[in-house]
Structure 1
């Protein structure tokens, strides 16, 4: 039946054209945006996941920046520590050179002073973004202070998020100088054995160890003492009545106490039958040195015993600095690995999001071409359907 009021064919063609136009709009949106899930209405579940993961990726980007900042801090501290180690090695070498007989220790101290000033300069300069890990007020911090470097952003199975950090503790084993006290590796005041030797002195039947002044053979000779041909006694020194040798190149002042029985006997003078010992009234205690690597000082009066003590102190500091440098190196290596992991993780998340929401451009372009063809055919069909009613006019001619 042909009707001029109701054109069923045109209505059907129009409905088809509307459907094609709607599909074309969706396809064109995907082609222009590159996304098949652009809004929650496209796919609520995928859109929600993608939005959350994009947010996490932004946090990971911030973590990557923080890792770069942390790496710079650690590298600055490591470079300063490494330079300081080389300077302390030089100080150790200078003290070793000072142990040689006839060396002008005053001249060596001039070099050591310059090296000590260099240590202060290095520690002050090892600062990045206002933080200095080689010089800090750890006394005010209660003996230690924890520095943190952001390492990662984590979302657990429950959806809870957190930021993980790498910690480095500033304390007496890692800081070169304590700006609020004297507890750093280089400024800790230590007691170094003085110019003395420990001997056992028998007083009234009780033997007690004493740290008494000691002298080298060269010092004994310089004092004008003459050696007894029958033993190890050097007689005639101005320090006391004489000296007794108690070890290789180690002498202690003694007096002749012939017939005494309540004193430690060090030697018997064969020529004079004298008994040489230390009397409790003649004990001269050796004074221990209290100093640090940053403040130690030597001169021509510094004994070999004192030099040995100073050398041990510097070596202990060098060992502590080496350990601290190893810790910094380990953190630096960990940060570098974490940077690589975060970069890889960011790429993986981007890839995962793409698999959920990205449009397949090959598929969409093919679909667009097909829809364009369908649209043209639908328009042509609508045109034919609209022209069908015109044939009714010919019946009235």
Structure 2
């Protein structure tokens, strides 16, 4: 038989316990809806939170890798642009040397060709010396290789430098000719230099393609890490919305149940009338 007491109301205590539990669940759901996360802090799920934090840190650090690789792209692109100019100049130098090898030329015409040849030669030096990005060049012979970040662990993507200066092409700042015979000999030298330049540019092009491919991979890796973290910590808002409505209804019913339980003790007053 239930005890009729005004000091202890078991029904009210049970109703209050259920209402408190509902309010706690409702608070959790509201927090998930507000933040969009089912695991927003370590107290929500310590193990999942730790994994998510580690992977988020890795994904964020890949931004530095992408910056480094993009800087590498720009450095190689500048070198390739200089290389295109160098090959064009070498082609014109070969043309001038071929024209000067004609023994039927008069002195004025020959000297004009020599002057043009020397000017083109000097432009190669100017083009290569200006082929720098952020003060760094892989075309002027100032460095043998450049290393860029390849992953979040600090591993590197190495690009071998290719010297496109006159010295790197087996020419010099004094390479020229003074006779038709010397001009004919210069044709072969310039042809060799042109072949050397195109081979070096081909190598730089391969390095650029490899760097582009790796940059694309890093971007996909970062996206995959972000998606993985989202799978771990993001809340299903459709599910949480449905649960919110259910808990709100449950909360209202809990309040009514507590009200009814509190009113039950008023029946004791009728015993004293």
Q: TM-score when scaled to structure 2?
A: 0.92
Partner Cα separation in structure 2 for residue 374 and residue 77 of structure 1: 70
1:53 and 1:349 in contact (8 A); partners too: yes
Which residue of 164, 167, 178 corresponds with 2:159?
A: 167
Secondary structure, aligned partner of 1:152 = coil
Secondary structure, aligned partner of 2:44 = coil
Which residue of 375, 388, 394 corresponds with 2:251?
A: 375
Which residue of 101, 119, 142 corresponds with 1:114?
A: 119
Which residue of 161, 164, 172 corresponds with 1:176?
A: 164
Once the two structures are TM-superposed, the CA of residue 117 in structure 1 deviates from its matched residue by 2.2
The one-character-per-residue Cα deviations of 1:151-173 (angstroms, maximum 9, x if unpaired) are: 333xxxxxxx332322213xxxx
Partner Cα separation in structure 2 for residue 137 and residue 166 of structure 1: 16
Secondary structure, aligned partner of 1:136 = coil
Partner Cα separation in structure 1 for residue 242 and residue 97 of structure 2: 84
The one-character-per-residue Cα deviations of 1:174-231 (angstroms, maximum 9, x if unpaired) are: 21338xxxxx224x4xxxxxxxxxxxxxxxxxxxxxxxxxxxxxxxxxxxxxxxxxxx
Secondary structure, aligned partner of 2:4 = coil
Q: What is the RMSD of the two structures over their aligned residues, measured on CA atoms?
A: 1.7
Secondary structure, aligned partner of 2:266 = helix
Once the two structures are TM-superposed, the CA of residue 309 in structure 1 deviates from its matched residue by 2.6
Partner Cα separation in structure 2 for residue 96 and residue 152 of structure 1: 51
Which residue of 124, 128, 139 corresponds with 1:123?
A: 128
The equivalent of 2:85 in structure 1 is 83
Point out the structure with max Rg over C-alpha: 1
Which residue of 333, 337, 359 corresponds with 2:213?
A: 337
The equivalent of 1:64 in structure 2 is 66
Matched, 1:74 2:76: yes
Once the two structures are TM-superposed, the CA of residue 308 in structure 1 deviates from its matched residue by 3.4
The equivalent of 2:232 in structure 1 is 356
Secondary structure, aligned partner of 1:131 = coil
The equivalent of 1:44 in structure 2 is 46
Once the two structures are TM-superposed, the CA of residue 122 in structure 1 deviates from its matched residue by 0.6
Which residue of 308, 313, 317 corresponds with 2:189?
A: 313
Q: Quickly say closer, same or farther: Cα 1:349–1:137, change in 2 above 3 A.
A: closer
2:82 and 2:128 in contact (8 A); partners too: yes
Matched, 1:15 2:17: yes
The equivalent of 2:146 in structure 1 is 147
2:177 and 2:186 in contact (8 A); partners too: no
Structure 1 unaligned blocks of 5 or more: 139-144, 154-160, 179-183, 189-291
Alignment of 1:148-297 (within 5 A): 148-153=147-152, 161-169=153-161, 174-177=162-165, 184-186=167-169, 188=170, 292-297=171-176
1:151 and 1:335 in contact (8 A); partners too: no
1:74 and 1:328 in contact (8 A); partners too: yes
Structure 2 unaligned blocks of 5 or more: none
Structure 1 segments of 4+ aligned residues over 3 angstroms from their partners: none
Partner Cα separation in structure 1 for residue 51 and residue 16 of structure 2: 39
Partner Cα separation in structure 1 for residue 197 and residue 6 of structure 2: 101
1:293 and 1:317 in contact (8 A); partners too: no
Partner Cα separation in structure 2 for residue 320 and residue 294 of structure 1: 17
2:100 and 2:180 in contact (8 A); partners too: no
Higher share of residues assigned helix: 2
What is the aligned length?
268
Partner Cα separation in structure 1 for residue 176 and residue 263 of structure 2: 114
